[in-house]
Amino acid sequence: MMPLVKWLLLVTTFLYSSMSFAIAEERRDLPEIKFTPQEISYLNNKASLSVCIDPQWMPFEMNDNGKYVGLTADYMALFEALIGKPIHLFSTKTWLDSVEASKSKQCDFLSAVAETPQRREYLEFTDPYFHSSLVIATGLHQPWINNIDDISGNKIGVVKGYASAEFIENNYPDIAITEVDSLKQGLELVAKGKLFGMVEMLATVGYQIQQEYIGSLKISGKLDRKWDISVGVNKDQPLLTSIFNKAINAIPMEEHQRVLNNWVSVSVNHDDPNMLSDAELDFIRKHPVIRFRTRSNRPPFEFVQDGKVAGLAIDYISLIAEQTGFKAEFVLDDRPQPDAFNEMEVDVNAFDTLLYSVKNQQRAERFSFGDAFLSYPVMIVVNKNLGYIGGINDLFGRNVAMEKGFVTTNWFKRDYPLIDLVETANTVQALRMVDSGNSDAYIGNLAIANYMKATGALENIKIAAPTEYANVDYRFIAPKKWPELTSILNKGFRSISPHQHSLIQQNWFSLQTIDKTNYGLTWAILIGALTVIGGFIISHRKISKAKRKLDWLLIELTETKRSLEVKNQQLQKLSITDRLTGLYNRLKLEEVLAKEFHRSFRYNEVYSIMMIDIDHFKRVNDTYGHQVGDVVLQEMSLLFLNNIRKVDTIGRWGGEEFLVICPHTDSDSAEKFAEILRAQVEKTHFKQVENLTISFGVASYQPQDTIESMVSRADEALYEAKSLGRNRVVAKK
């Protein structure tokens, strides 16, 4: 049995029902309202009333593809019946859009608002028709908040434009407010540990926790204020405010209760949401020992240290096993990943499951996956003697070592079939090939590369650049027939306290390890997104002395990183720019050519290149001198830049030759485009030499092409254009 947490307040909210913004089918007995002659005249002059809502504020209200649903929608149905006028929805995308629509008189009123001094400038407020408390949602392991002073100095999220933000700012200045776009976004930041808590209404917070964050977040306390919800009417319609007040006061108590019961039910639950179910406890009784396949060569996740298994994943699984009541055994096995997956599916096997795995569609069909508990960015690691590598496209013509059977390797093979790939048995082997110079680069797990470099196992590698691939998440995994195991692992992980998380991390990423590294590597380790660590955060008051030192180091590293980034950007720009014309140089053009060729090869799309030569340029240099020749090159470059399309790339190929790369352009279109450029140059008056002409050689991609064959065809076409008298376009299809 796992330990119980303290009393947990959960708000159980119903999924929005089939009820919509309409009068209920059964006729309700509602009292008749006596309106004044002025109010009757106002209503007679209105065919209908228009309302603006918060389109994403369940369970209060939501715009569900044009259908108005939620608690306030039910109240609007009551108002329709009492007032005798239809109310239609004025659709907006966000709450801030609704506020602006109200200010500009595009709708008559806002459905549900709290009164604040700022809003009084443009709204009249009716009597409240609903009341709620403001509560604070935090991570599950945070202490209960008995006093608002308990959260002073912590980062608290509020939704931008909500009254709660204005209220906290005015009444609790010591709270550090962070504005977010939505409640869901704020709770996600709390779950990831980037915010201490999120303040919003009890019903809405409870709804979101119930939908997505059971076992990760809880309601930890409330602010000492009842939050009144009113209708917000445009200031130029005081009669409508009076009409709504009469309608609100006429609603019978049983109707209020009916609406409330449709959408919100608040209960106190004494159970830990991470407590094991009867089925999970029965699973552990039947399977008291779970054997985890453990590799010897993936530090810091799993490896052999001093003759024993060790690593971050080992520590987590061991702690989860202790807290949930099963025994974890670690079976050393270094077979390739595909073979390990096959082993999990046979009846008699060497191990029951893996410590973790990356989920994809094919694997999800074969196995049961749990939560992500570790994560790392996919980076390019190169030998330190290799030149500048800014992305995967810079690896054309080089070889890359990657692990056989890994998801990242499959991505790379799919996306970059023309780059030479060497598949290795494991990550360490791939990294050692790069370290020894037998391979140029490794693409994959940053954490392993950092750890091995920091501990001295690798001396000749460097982190070169990020890739376009998203972070890779390591998830709990179990045989398909054992879904209970992934659920047990999930619950065990969520039950780990912040202090326990911190101890495990410090064991593998301590300051002593960081001291061995340079700033660049330290930064990579610190921001390498190694541990997702579910939805926990560490209380500000409990941060240790070592953590404070690390914070100062982070600040110092941030400044160093910014300075290095600026310098690197300057160096990178210099490395790809022709100094005379400011256009791309040949090195950059070759990179773009490789990228465009790769894209066309993969998707069977067409593109064209245009080789351009300034006619009789030698005569310009001989007649006017090289300085004038340089000015001509600059003028010509500016003319090209002003006349090519945004999708095109132009650069100086060499001397008086230029190259234009035209994506998604077939031969006929490229030839027409070249003719337009040729005519533009012919009619241009240059400052010192007046008239010039240019010649074009055009080549378009064919399935049998290589980069070299395309450039060669364009060059041949250019030579033919010059042979035919210059000032013309020749295309070689």
The 10s digit of each residue's pLDDT in 559-617 is 555 555 555 555 666 678 888 888 999 888 988 898 888 878 776 788 999 999 999 99
Nearest to 449 by CA among 464, 467, 461, 438: 461
Residue matched to tokens 């700012």: 169
In the beta sheet, which residues pair with residue 120?
none
- Residue 521 pLDDT greater than 60, yes or no: no
For residue 645, give every residue at least 6 positions away whose Cβ sits within 8 Å of its Cβ, in sequence order, or none.
Answer: 662, 673
> Residue 146's pLDDT band (boundaries 50, 70, 90)?
low
Distance linking the first and last C-alpha atoms of the chain = 74
Could you tell me the fold of the domain covering 586-731? Alpha-Beta Plaits (3.30.70)
| pLDDT at residue 556, rounded to an integer | 56
Looking at domain 37-262, does it have CATH number 3.40.50.410?
no
CB 443 within 8 A of CB 402: yes
448-487 pLDDT, tens digit each? 888 888 888 899 999 888 888 878 889 999 999 999 999 9
Q: In this structure, are residues 77 and 117 in contact, taking their beta carbons and an 8 Å threshold?
A: no
The first and second tokens of residue 351, run together, are 């191990």
Q: Provide the pLDDT for residue 696.
A: 97
Q: What is the pLDDT of residues 102-116, one digit of tens each?
A: 898 999 999 888 888
CATH code for residues 278-509: 3.40.190.10
Confidence band for 514, pLDDT divided at 50, 70 and 90:
very low
Q: Is the confidence at residue 659, as pLDDT, over 80?
A: yes
pLDDT of residue 266: 44
| pLDDT score at 657 | 94
Per-residue burial over 608-636, b = 16 or more CB atoms within 10 Å of its CB, e = otherwise: bbbbbbbbbbeebeeeeeeebbebbbebb
What residues act catalytically? 656
CA separation (Å) from 697 to 594, 604, 670? 19, 23, 10
Q: pLDDT digit string (tens) for 683-693?
A: 998 888 878 99
Give pLDDT, residue 515.
33
Token pair listed for 95: 């709450």
- Give pLDDT tens digits for 173-183: 778 888 888 88
